[in-house]
Chains A and B, each alone.
Chain A
Amino acid sequence: MPTKPAGTLYRGREGMWSWVGHRITGVVIFFFLLVHVLDTSLVRVSPEAYTAVIGAYKNPLMALGETGLVAAIVFHAFNGLRIIAVDFWKKGAKYQRQMLWTVLVLWVIVMVGFSIRHLSLALGGH
């Protein structure tokens, strides 16, 4: 039986998992983008058609979905800036691990703030 390869600098480490996270969030955002352009296009059909479809975004289940989508966007954005720093900053590769933890801390802070505001608006009395 082949033995498990020993750990490397990349495999199973922060670098690999941030790459996996970047791919998955990127695909999720791309497919939402296709849907979002289509739903917005209903403004050219009629005011009532647009307002009806956008109404679907305003129920409690969708509020959770929107929060998940924004979580994907914020991670992809911050990790994307980290990738740029790794590529263009002289010490980027050396500090890529520390930068990933910075990304995750900022992501948690932004998402706590966003979730409180968005969920209280979306789920609040109306």
Chain B
Amino acid sequence: MTATQIQSPRSGKDGNGRPGAGLIAPKYRRSGASKGNFEMAAWLFMRLSGVVLVVLIFGHLFVNLLVGEGIHAIDFGFVAGKWADPFWQFWDLAMLWLAMLHGTNGVRTIINDYAEKDSTRFWLKIVLYAATAVIIILGTLVIFTFNPCPLDVNGIPLPGGFCPAA
């Protein structure tokens, strides 16, 4: 019987994915962390936001897909009806921010796990953070600048909008 070969841990590879350099493992110390408490705060955030997101997303799916006509009721008027109420504006805003930050931190963890080269990790995370910033800013602006009666360039109401009777 051959002895089981035990591979050196991936964390022992150097920043370019070459094994044996032992960049991380020998330097690892529980004390004197240089990153402060960021990783612990991120760990806690995943759990706290996760609980809140279960409530927000289950509520979102129930109201949008299971009540009344379900998905067939969703159109511009449906969105206008919901965002006329600050309750649903705040609901969707909280869902947007928490879900994006929760998802971004999850993907950040996956990038750290699988991308072995320092430069690959760096650029993947740059792309991730840029996408996150765009989506959060865009979504927030959409919720707060929503107009149930949008006008065209000539000031004529666009078809399908909900305008007060003149």
Contact = CB atoms under 8 A, between A and B. Distances in A.
Given A46-B158, A50-B79, A84-B47, A26 B70 contact: no
B4 A50 contact: no
B139 A121 contact: no
B58 A34 contact: no
Interface stretch (A10-18, A51-59, A98-106): A51-59
B161 A47 contact: yes
B107 A46 contact: no
Contact of A44 (B4, B50, B107, B145): B145
Interface stretch (B14-22, B29-37, B95-103, B118-126): B95-103
A50 B65 CA distance: 17
Given A43-B146, A46-B150, A3 B161 contact: no
Given A37-B135, A41-B139, A41-B142, A80 B50 contact: yes
Interface string B124-166: 0000000100010011011001110010000000111100000
B50 A84 contact: yes
Contacts, number: 120
Interface residues of B, number: 45
Nearest to B131: A34
Q: How large is the interface on A (under 10, 10 to 19, 20 to 34, 35 or more residues)?
A: 35 or more
B40 interface: no
B61 A30 contact: no
Interface string A45-76: 01110110010011000010010001001000
The 4 A-B residue pairs with the shortest CB-CB distance, nearest first, are A47-B160, A121-B70, A47-B76, A30-B103
Given A58-B72, A126-B72, 14 more contacts: A23-B110, A26-B107, A30-B107, A37-B138, A38-B135, A43-B146, A47-B77, A50-B79, A57-B71, A66-B65, A70-B65, A77-B57, A84-B50, A114-B61
Interface of B: 1-2, 4-5, 47, 50-51, 53-54, 57-58, 61, 65-66, 69-72, 74-77, 79, 96, 99-100, 103-104, 106-107, 110, 131, 135, 138-139, 141-142, 145-147, 150, 158-161
